[in-house]
Structure 1
Amino acid sequence: MRDSGEHMQIGEVAQRTELSIRTVRHYDDVGLVTPSARSIGGFRLYTEADVQRLLVIRRMKPLGFTLAEMKELLEALEVLDDPAATAQARTAATEAVHRCHARAEDSCERLRRHLAYAQELTGMLAEHAASPTSRA
């Protein structure tokens, strides 16, 4: 793991997060993850904290979270990590995390059901592929 002060270029960040460079740029454009710095040539430079934010987004995307919901959770996590945050801000952030957690649980349950259906189908197809019968 990198030191939090060391910067990475977008290609390395894309590789580490398993996101495309285009996707990382898009998340910058919509304000989800802004690079911590820019090189003299204007290239985006990211820190380990930026990578962690991208990983949160990557985990949320397959669960159907919107960009607005992703932003809300990222902001809530920032508040909860900030020792100087007010009690009121921490309460609101905790509530946002609870909402996202409940939504993630629901999405996981739906995905488990879909996976079970897919496994049933592949099992059925494997049986038919292993012993083809002639149907007239």
Structure 2
Amino acid sequence: MGTPGTSTTMRIGAVAERAGLSLRTLRHWDEVGLVTPSGRTDGGFRLYTDSDVDRILLVRRMKPLGFSLDEMADLLDVVHRLGAGETTDPDGADLRARLDEFTTTSRARRADLARKLDMADELITLLGAV
């Protein structure tokens, strides 16, 4: 994640390049409230901090696993609150348990992707043998 003790701000283009995402994706995530930039210039340009970029990279890693925007927002909340030293939700749920659920789900979805990649490799091999 970001370097402790440093706080740089970047415009959306630099963030898009660093994260390997399109400007459109970053704007959409802002519009739906998933990852909102920490500031704006006087001219209205989005400004992202290292912490914002860390959140963007976390979301980018969730995308291939098929998490919904709501699930992504929930995980971002859990990670943020655990990072701030919280351990329970206002309703008494344990944040660490919620994180464990995301970990379990991520492992299952990764295994599914691995099976699909194996099938794709088999197909490529079969096609190469024709």
TM > 0.5: yes
Shift of 1:4: 3.6
Cα distance between partner residues in 2 of 1:106 and 1:62 = 13
Cα distance between partner residues in 2 of 1:4 and 1:78 = 18
SS in 1 for 2:43: coil
Distance 1:57 1:14, change over 3 A: same
In the TM superposition, 1:1-136 aligns within 5 A as: 4-83=6-85, 85=86, 87-89=87-89, 92-128=94-130
Shift of 1:93: 1.7
Q: Residue by residue, what CA displacement relative to the aligned partner does 1:31-77 show, whole Å, maximum 9, x if unpaired? A: 11110110011100001111110011111011010000000000000
Q: Which has the higher helix share?
A: 1
Q: Which consecutive residues of structure 2, in runs of 5 or more, have no partner in the other structure?
A: none
SS in 2 for 1:45: strand
Cα distance between partner residues in 1 of 2:104 and 2:36 = 27
> After TM superposition, which residue ranges in structure 1, 4 or more long, deviate above 2 angstroms?
1-4, 87-92
Q: RMSD over aligned Cα, in angstroms?
A: 1.7
Q: 1:35, 1:46 within 8 Å by CA — same for their partners in 2?
A: yes
Equivalenced residue count is 126
Shift of 1:98: 1.1
Cα distance between partner residues in 2 of 1:33 and 1:4 = 20
Identity of aligned residues (%): 42
Q: Which consecutive residues of structure 1, in runs of 5 or more, have no partner in the other structure?
A: 129-136
Cα distance between partner residues in 2 of 1:55 and 1:112 = 21
